[in-house]
Amino acid sequence: MGLIGDDDYDYLYKVVLIGDSGVGKSNLLSRFSTNKFSLDFKSTIGVDYATRRIQLGGQIIKGQIWDSAGQERYRAMTSPYYRGALGALIVYDITRKVTFENVERWLRELRDHTDQTIVVMLAGNKADLAHLRAVPTDEAKAFAEREHMFFMETSALKAINVEKAFTQLLSRIYQGKSPKAL
């Protein structure tokens, strides 16, 4: 097998991150794309997406993961954000119930803008703050099942399930064998 070039890939998949402000979307993305965590609450305006390549079944899958760049403060994203997305990670914060209650609205918006075949994962982030938990795991899991979403509790801070969540999303999309071009 030859050397893998810096930007070689077999499949390119767009994945969008959605969910309320402050739930940890940008930290999940930087953890997955560069393995970093930032303790500062910083505006994500200006950051459109980050990429990361993984190998699945001998193929190189390039995930192009879009962050909402602060727009989610208005609790809605515009259609260019969703365009071409094959996967979505809807994030809530396990310590803030309202962020879980809003998942339904995010899901509805997502479904209004994307194809039925989109692969969706629900991520209950900040799982390291178990002592402050406000959303029971079972409740979130049952909701995810009803809505045909995958489910995982994650921690961007402690790097728990972050790799797993994104990899599972990308591999589910891959199993659907979507085209290389967006």
Which residues contact ligand GDP (rule: CB under 6 A)?
21-27, 39, 41, 44, 125-126, 128-129, 155-157
Residue closest to ligand GDP when measured from CB atoms: 24
* Residue 122 exposed, middle or buried by CB count within 10 Å (0-12, 13-18, 19+): buried
Closest to ligand GDP by CB, 110 vs 157, is 157
CA distances from 136 to 65, 94, 149, 154 (A): 28, 8, 17, 14
Tell me the closest approach of the beta carbon of residue 63 to ligand GDP, in angstroms: 17
| 78 within 8 A of 30, measured Cβ to Cβ | no
Closest to ligand GDP by CB, 11 vs 106, is 106
Closest to ligand GDP by CB, 125 vs 178, is 125
Closest to ligand GDP by CB, 14 vs 25, is 25
Tell me the closest approach of the beta carbon of residue 56 to ligand GDP, in angstroms: 25
CA–centroid distance for 43 within its chain = 18
| 125 within 8 A of 93, measured Cβ to Cβ | yes
